[in-house]
Amino acid sequence: MASVPYESDSLPESFISGTVVHIIFRNEENGYTVLIVKVKKSNPKIDEKKVTVVGYFPSIDTDERYFFEGAFKEHPRFGKQYQVQTYKKEIPTEKDAIIAYLSSDRFPGIGEKTAAVLVENFGQNVIEKVLDNPDNLKKINGLNQKKRKNIYQAMLENQGMEQAMTTLTRYGFGMELAVKIYNAYRERTFDIIQDTPYQLVWDIEGVGFYKADKLGKSLGIKRDDPERVKAGMLYILYEKTMQDGHVYIPWSLLMQEAKSLLNDPNNKMSDELLESALLQLAEEDKLIQEENRVYMASLYFAEKGFVTKIKKMLEREEAGTFSEAEFLKALGETEEQYGIEYADQQKEAIQKAIHSSLMILTGGPGTGKTTVIRAIVEIFSKLHGFSLDRSSYKKEEPFPVLLAAPTGRAAKRMKESTGLQASTIHKLLGYNGVNGDEAFAKDEEEPLEGKLLIVDEVSMVDMWLANQLFRSIPEDMQVILVGDEDQLPSVGPGQVLGNLLETNIVPIVSLSVVYRQAEGSSIINLAHSIKKGELPNDLMTPFEDRRFFICNKMQTADVVKKVCEGAIKKGYSPLEIQVLAPMYKGPAGVDVLNKTLQNLYNPPKKKKRKVTFGEMTYSKGDVILQLINNPEEEVFNGDRGVVEAIIEANETTDKQMKIVLSFEGKEVTYTRQDLNQITLAYCTSIHKSQGSEFPIVVVPMLMSYKRMLQRNLLYTAITRARDYLILCGERSAVEFAVKNKHKDERYTTLKEKLLEKENVSSHE
């Protein structure tokens, strides 16, 4: 804190000391500010009397003097700017000046007499001494408790922010994150980071356990402090659920992981200490312990709620009361309408769907799931006597059929195949971006409206979202879940589709006959061979719709580039070509391949506008992927788009750079700080491609990906290709993946709870 002058031998390598004379621009949301500073002193010495200073400041005042640390950078458009890493408000150092400063309007409650007494007792660094230890005020006679509190509060409000910011940046928190922390706690910031730094883990997105632990250690918090232990245990639980997909973790595993995380050579965690922390977390409703299982509270109630709803749906009487004759009449009309004759397996699926309150439809590529979905919608509407023409409904009148999928691209495919409106599950439920039960507009109190709900790509739906969806389903709505059990499970916790299929209590129709083989799709043949754990003899044989190019990991990026170059020459656009890699790092990882393909499709040019965010640089024409749900803009995780324009800050009314993105015709404008929501999408991970389909898919397969190579990963990648599949890399990697049937075993009690106690009849 700058309550004392800087001694010459302790001055930082680069600083500017001066008075703020003008604020050019300020973003109140994140504190990003551009200001003009009249320089009084600097290191190294500069000739300019005034400089442009930029940085993140929770608060900054004109006519006040500040001490800025940072470095000069050359902005391509705005020239020389001083980018601040940390800053402090400077305080007068002469005795009379300090007394005048403390007795000014900045510090209500401190008059000239009290200010003089404070300076007499504590000297020039009076503010620092009071803020570091408010009890120091007890040493001064004549100050009652109320007066001491007022003095401390006044100093905290005026100088605590800079002190908090200094502390945070000193311990590795960047200015932007430090501003975020200050905006959350305001005048309580310094007290919180001093007394309960581990609270940052729960309250502030972007502050993980390791950051908070570094801060705690620096502040002298004991390694066995209960708050540290609780933070560590919750961190492990969160990582194991959100990162590894578990709904709970066994008590013994949590204990083992906690000791590994929290122990150090001089301090071993006892079982008693860990169990005490678990008990406190349970009392605070942050976790649930059931037998030897430990859950995040939200996931425990999500699984419990989902089980209750499924059992309730299965207890309903048969949904449809239509006779065989009525069904066959509607079926015949639909076959005539589409010029198709449904196979026996497809007829079974359609009929079971019509008569079930809940049904699961599964099947691999080419088995006709889309055909069946379209038939179900048509026949359902005929039997129930309603129109599928949206124009025949009033604006406020609910449409009887709801179609949804986890991603925007999967929803678009549903819309194209049925001709009906489809949306993401988040949009269907009215997701608003907040956390917890209030994140969705639809729930038990405000349920969905309609007669039939069909959800596609259910393998991607995690436990939490599944519960949110099912709690919004009214009693009289029929539900059909569609998915491919051989694909990768959800990124989030649980394996909802897999567990439901294992219980066998929900009516299931598995489509197994491959119809698209007749169309000559060797991609479909390959996918079904892999599904069976077989590698076809013609793997290396060139087909009209697939090829395999042999190369090693150092050659892969060049091979991928040449393949994509060839596709571009044949008239395909970058949006129609998708490269899928199992891992991010390495010479053939997502990161390297994205940069390689960006240089191919959209090479940098001198006059081309660009914006850099982190390690990514974007310019007009770049293909991007949305990483998080943005309900305000109706753009969701997994949506693919293109950078349409970059508008410089001096060209906008609010003086902020704008990036215009187009998501399949829908334009969305982001500011620079919103760019954490996107990434380049020339190459993506196989996990992020779920629910999508592309004309051309390029999949590198290498033994360097070994820890990721599993049958369901390869199967998922191959089934993303609609027209053409290119495999490149090592045959041995494909063989390894096909043989490795191992699926990530996830800790979940969904199956167990669905089968327990209730006498729910199985549907063989």
DSSP string, 248-272: EEEHHHHHHHHHHHH-BTTBPPPHH
- Running DSSP on this structure, what letter comes out for residue 334? H
In this predicted structure, the answer to whether residue 454 has a pLDDT above a threshold of 90 is yes
Residues 318 and 660: their CA atoms lie apart, in Å, by: 51
3-state secondary structure 677-738: HEEECCEEECHHHCCCCEEEEEEEECHHHHHHCCHHHHHHHHCCEEEEEEEEECHHHHHHHH
Alpha-carbon distance of 178 to 121, in angstroms, equals 33
- Angle of helix 711-718 versus helix 522-531 axis, rounded to 10: 160
Among 226-230, 503-507, 630-634, 660-664, the minimum mean pLDDT is found in 630-634
Residue 563 in tokens: 């393949």
Q: What is the predicted pLDDT for the residue at 436?
A: 65
Mean pLDDT of 737-749: 86
pLDDT of residue 707: 84
**Closest Cα partner for 634 from 460, 423, 435, 462?**
423
Q: Which tokens in the block code for residue 589? A: 């990882």
Sequence-distant (≥ 6) Cβ neighbours of residue 334 within 8 angstroms: 375, 378, 379, 382
* Strand ranges for 12-64 from DSSP E: 15-26, 32-43, 50-56
Contact by Cβ (8 Å): 69, 87: yes
Q: Answer yes or no: are the C-beta atoms of 87 and 57 closer than 8 Å.
A: yes
Q: Is the pLDDT of residue 431 over 90?
A: no
Stronger pLDDT, 456 or 6, i.e. the higher one: 456
Residue 753 tokens read as 């709870």
Who's near 671: CB < 8 A, 6+ residues apart? 656, 657, 658, 659
CA neighbor of 26 nearest in space, from 189, 186, 179: 179
3-class SS letters over 465-500: HHHHHHCCCCCCCEEEEEECCCCCCCCCCCCHHHHH
Any alpha helices (H) in 286-440, and if so which ranges?
A: 297-314, 324-338, 344-355, 369-384, 408-418, 425-428
Sign of CA dihedral 280, 285, 291, 296: negative
SS3 180: helix
* HSE value, Cβ hemisphere, 13 Å, CA-based, for 147: 12
For 457-486, the pLDDT digits (tens) are 999 999 999 999 999 999 889 999 999 888
Q: State yes or no: pLDDT of 710 exceeds 80.
A: yes
Q: What is the pLDDT of residues 100-109, one digit of tens each?
A: 777 777 677 7
Phi and psi based region of residue 80 (left: phi greater than 0; alpha: psi -120 to 50; beta: remaining): beta
Q: Is 191 exposed, middle or buried (0-12, 13-18, 19+ CB in 10 A)?
A: middle
Q: Is 320 helix (H, G, I), strand (E, B) or coil?
A: coil
What's the mean pLDDT in 375-381?
92
* The pLDDT of residue 3 is above 90: no
* 85: helix, strand or coil: strand
Q: Is the peptide bond before 44 cis (omega within 30 degrees of 0)?
A: yes
- The model's confidence at residue 2, banded by pLDDT at 50, 70 and 90, is very low
Interaxial angle between packed helices 711-718 and 731-739, expressed in degrees from 0 to 180 and rounded to the nearest 10 = 120
Q: By mean pLDDT, which of 293-297, 319-323, 626-630, 729-733 is the weakest?
A: 319-323
The fraction of the chain above a pLDDT of 70, given in percent, is: 92
Q: Give dist(CA 519, CA 482) in Å, integer.
A: 23
- For the chain, state the CA radius of gyration: 31
Residue (of 521, 522, 589) closest to 560 by Cα position: 589
For residue 102, what pLDDT is reported? 78
pLDDT of 656 higher than 50: yes
pTM for this entry: 0.77
pLDDT at 725 exceeding the cut of 50: yes
Euclidean distance between CA atoms 522 and 295, whole angstroms: 45
Q: 3-state DSSP call for residue 666?
A: strand
| Residue 162 confidence (pLDDT) | 65
Q: How far is CA 363 from CA 683, 728, 749, in A?
A: 27, 27, 25
Query: What is the band of 519 on the pLDDT scale with cuts at 50, 70, 90?
Result: low
Residues 6 or more apart in contact with residue 314 via CB below 8 angstroms: 357, 358, 505, 506, 760
Q: Which range, 117-131, 163-177, 670-684, has the best average confidence (pLDDT)?
A: 670-684
Q: How confident is the model at residue 9 (pLDDT cuts 50, 70, 90)?
A: very low
Mean predicted confidence (pLDDT) in 166-191: 76
Task: Specify the pLDDT at position 593.
Answer: 94
**pLDDT reading at 532 higher than 80:** yes
Two structure tokens written together for 68: 């800025």
| Residue 764: pLDDT over 50 | no
Q: Quickly tell me which residue has 């309250």 as its tokens.
A: 203
- In angstroms, the Cα distances linking 209 to 201, 231, 260, 417, 718 are 6, 7, 14, 46, 38
Query: What's residue 133's pLDDT?
Result: 81
Q: How many degrees, rounded to 5, is the angle at CA 473 between CA 472 and CA 478?
A: 165
713, 488 Cβ separation under 8 angstroms: yes
Residue 213: per-residue pLDDT: 87
Q: What is the pLDDT of residue 639?
A: 85
Per-residue pLDDT tens digits for 25-84: 887 767 788 899 999 988 888 888 899 999 888 778 787 888 898 888 887 777 889 988
The 3-state secondary structure of 610-630, one letter per residue: EEEECCEEEECCCEEEECCCE
The predicted model gives 246-254 an average pLDDT of 93
- Do 452 and 480 meet the contact criterion of CB atoms below 8 Å apart? yes
